[in-house]
Amino acid sequence: MEISELDKYGICDGISEIILTSGIKNPNAAPIGLIRKDNRIFIRLYKGSTTYENVKQDKNFAANVTCDPLLFVKSTFSNLKNENFKYYSLNSTKIPLLKNSASSVIFICGEIKHTEQAMTAEIIPMDAVANDYRPKAINRGLTAVIEAAVHATRYELTGDNKFLDLIDQCMETTYKCGGQREKDAADILLYEIDEIKKHVSGGKDTE
């Protein structure tokens, strides 16, 4: 599969926010930024995550394109249920995909570089599945809730209250511009942040 073909599956130049599914035996889903630049594609995965361990072991995964904010938030803080996955056969193995994604692209890892904190892999597209070609306008509520989820993971790692302020700004946009699914995702995100605050030293009061 040529990299130029990825455009029609929603993975374009720059950083595409996708949900990566991995794990042959126990499927896992997690949002990541997939980097496409100069006709090459990369992922960077940090140690300590299930996604890191799965990709390190299996050397393959699927990049799922979706505009569903609930899938982004739920897969950020917990694993999705088995009913959310379907499977794609590749070289006698089965790779998990998201059932409700607009499209899914199956990748294998090429060159992998390891550091103390992470691994970076150049990845090769093998095949793709398109489930939904319906156009959808950009909704600021969606982009804001995804950005808030990213800030939440950084707050969990660092305990820096500046991320809480950024989350508040994102939430204001989501509740102003988002539809019901964006607002439902924001509600879940705020609950998860309150749980994170209980374990982060120096966090703001939850009231």
pLDDT band at 40; cut points 50, 70, 90: very high
Structural domain count of the chain: 2
Q: Is residue 83 part of a domain?
A: yes
Residues 12 and 90 in one domain: yes
Residues 44 and 123 in one domain: yes
**Quick one: 126 exposed, middle or buried, by C-beta within 10 A (0-12, 13-18, 19+)?**
middle
User: For residue 55, what is the enclosing H or E element?
Assistant: helix 50-58
pLDDT of the residue at 201 = 58
Residues 115 and 36 in one domain: yes
- Taking 80 as the threshold, does the pLDDT of residue 203 lie above it? no
Question: Of 109, 130, 151, at which residue does a domain stop?
Answer: 130
Cα separation, 117 vs 98, in Å, equals 28
Residue 27 belongs to domain with CATH number: 2.30.110.10
Cα separation, 197 vs 37, in Å, equals 37
Encode pLDDT of 4-36 as tens digits: 999 999 999 999 999 999 998 889 999 999 999
pLDDT band at 97; cut points 50, 70, 90: very high
Average pLDDT, stretch 110-127? 94
Q: Is residue 20 part of a domain?
A: yes
Average pLDDT, stretch 91-97? 89
Residues 47 and 66 in one domain: yes
Residues 146 and 125 in one domain: no
pLDDT of the residue at 193 = 93
Q: Which residue range forms the structural domain that includes residue 190?
A: 140-197
Q: Which two tokens stand for residue 105?
A: 């692209």
Tell me the percentage of the chain whose pLDDT exceeds 90: 80
Average pLDDT, stretch 168-196? 95
